[in-house]
Amino acid sequence: MGLDNFDPTFFKIYKIISLHITFIVKEPVHPVGTPFPAGFKVRYDGENYLCPVKEGQEDNHGAVCGFCIAEQDPETI
């Protein structure tokens, strides 16, 4: 979602859904198996959800990573 086509209404809905998934369902915003560039995927190691891009999104104001329960995948740092 680039700034050229940013839709504030969609973003509000996206944040609400993300909060529900994180705090009610207790799963990461992106489901396990969600593919990312370079062949990385969100995964579950039996105890924690691991995201390959979480730390790389800290400055992205359009990302909901800040409240997602997934942790940075140490294998993708």
List the domain boundaries for the chain.
30-77
Q: What is the pLDDT of residues 36-47, one digit of tens each?
A: 999 999 999 999
For residue 28, pLDDT over 90 is answered with yes
Could you tell me what percent of the chain has a pLDDT over 70?
95
- Residue 16: enclosing H or E segment and its boundaries? helix 8-20
State how beta strands 71-72 and 49-51 pair.
Answer: parallel
Strand arrangement of the beta sheet that strand 71-72 belongs to: 43-44, 49-51, 71-72
Separation CA 68–CA 42 (nearest Å): 12
CA angle 50-42-31, nearest 5°? Answer: 110
Separation CA 33–CA 53 (nearest Å): 13
Question: pTM score, two decimals?
Answer: 0.84
pLDDT of residue 1: 46
